[in-house]
């Protein structure tokens, strides 16, 4: 089951002006390692939540938490583009 790891203070804005909160989620895999991804939650709740594919693989939850501490605004902008399907 996915767990909210961190809500980032950075906000991103879509082309239509919608502001998105950045949340990082993680989930333990069957082998005990963890995967992490970003979700972008719109201020307009009628719009869809955007999600990246897996962004990291870590040995445990603590390592995912540490990974989130290094995410800067440039990384988040790139992840937002990936979540929108603009970059592969």
Residue 10 burial (CB < 10 Å; 0-12/13-18/19+)?
Answer: middle
pLDDT at 11: 96
Q: What is the rounded distance in angstroms from the CA atom of residue 83 to the CA atom of residue 67?
A: 19
Q: Does residue 62 have a pLDDT over 80?
A: yes
Among 62, 2, 55, smallest CA distance to 28 is for 2
Question: Is this structure's pTM higher than 0.85?
Answer: yes
Dist. CA 82–CA 50, nearest whole Å: 9
Is the pLDDT at 86 greater than 70? The verdict is no
What share of the chain has pLDDT > 70, as a percent? 97
pLDDT one-digit tens code per residue, 25-57: 999 999 999 999 999 999 999 999 999 999 999
Residue with tokens 């992490």: 36
Task: Quote the percentage of the chain above a pLDDT of 90.
Answer: 95
Spatial contact of 51 and 76, defined as CB atoms under 8 Å apart: no
CB 25 within 8 A of CB 3: yes
Tell me the longest C-alpha to C-alpha distance in the chain: 41
In the chain, where the domains are located: 3-83
Q: What is the pLDDT of residue 88?
A: 41
């Amino acid at each position: 089951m996915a767990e909210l790891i961190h809500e980032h203070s950075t906000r991103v804005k879509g082309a239509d002006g919608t502001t998105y909160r950045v949340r990082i989620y993680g989930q333990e895999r069957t082998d005990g390692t963890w995967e992490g991804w970003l979700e972008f939650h719109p201020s307009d709740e009628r719009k869809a939540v955007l999600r990246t594919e897996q962004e990291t693989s870590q040995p445990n939850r603590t390592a995912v938490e540490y990974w989130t501490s290094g995410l800067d605004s440039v990384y988040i902008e790139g992840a937002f583009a990936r979540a929108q399907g603009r970059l592969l």
